[in-house]
Structure 1
Amino acid sequence: MNIPPGFFDLPEEFVHVLWLNIAEHLDWLEAGLATLDPVERDRAARYLNPWHGQRYACTRGLLRSLLGRFLGCPPAGIEFGYGPCGKPRLAAAEKLNFNLAHSGDWVALGFSRERRIGIDLESVAGCHDCLAVARQCFSPRELAVLEQASNTAQRFCSVWVRKEAVVKAAGLGLDSLQAFCALDPVVALRDERGIPIQWHLSEIPMAAGYAMALATEGGPVRNASFRL
């Protein structure tokens, strides 16, 4: 696996994000499918769109491989737990947090020590009925900004990834999207346990036509982006 140098050197004050186009790396990604457990294999097989199933399986295999390198253990032996809204985490009491996102052929995986994180990426071209969706999911301030934007889809996409990154970091469902405004660099929002947390937001450079954002628990941290 040709992971960029330095990716696995993860200090506590950093978040490392790896992003890649699945279609460009299928040959070596498919080698990771052998590490999937029966539940993951079944889920991959149940996708109506075969490509979506392959993307899920390849991403899951990659996640296992990366976690195995970080933890120094066999990827197939890693066990996952899930929060009330389905956020994956390590079942063991490891001080390593991760999150992942995908849009089209692109996938992003974020890793952090100690702090919980959330990551999201979206395609501008895939943002349809932006105003209708925003009226259901955006705060009044976010909606006002969107309605004044010259490029509605691009602005919607940039706000949406920030909001979903926060929701994913907090372990909440999409029904929480309208409860906060993600235009500022810090969002105060209770997590899945009901504990008030400050989530720090940053945008991660991404391929043209896409937007990606990262939310981090507690104080601001530095992030590094690695592309395969």
Structure 2
Amino acid sequence: MRLRADFTRREVVRPEDYEWRSSPASGVDRMMLDRIGEEVARATTIVRFAPNSAFDPHTHGGGEEYLVLEGVFSDEFGDYPAGTYVRNPIGTRHTPRIGPEGATILVKLCQFDENDTEQKVIDTRTAQFQPGRAPGVSELLLHDVPGERVRMVRFAPGARLDTADKATSEEIFVVEGVLEDDTGRCPAGTWLRSPDGAGKSRGSQDGCLLYVKTGHLPV
């Protein structure tokens, strides 16, 4: 399968565009954002776990990165509520199990560099954000290695950020609120990908929270 696999193109997927597909595991559905491969794939996906669902034990042959969007995602190593950011490098193994709340995660698979071996768990709801590049914009750095930088970015109501000088690849997921850029309104659940750092400026009238990854696309 090849889905939004041309990384030279800009892509925008809003919640009204979602097409959920069943996974091989009972009670686990997927909204595929981009994908190259079949069941083992380089993929960016929203995964929705029904209450009390489970996934077979598996090894991350290409690494796994995920952000918990709703509910509580659990495995044998811990419970990860909404707002938790997790990196499981190449070769790690676990058995997901979901409690009565269910869970929804944004997950990226098979996108790790073999030298990127740091495993981490960050509670983004309690971590300290730092001032960003414009008034009303703050950032939380999650991961920073050559070829990949991952942050949470928060816009206070009315904040704007000029991005005209950006020339690096960029991927954004709107976690909360509404982002406004040259594509229009991007409500929570919107995914954007650009090979050259999307629109000239962006902002949020009522405030928003973003997951942002830059410098990573294979173009």
Instruction: Calculate the TM-score normalised by the size of structure 2.
Output: 0.30
* Structure with the bigger percentage of strand: 2
Using CA pairs under 8 Å that are at least 6 residues apart, name the structure with larger relative contact order, 1 or 2: 1
* Structure with the bigger percentage of helix: 1
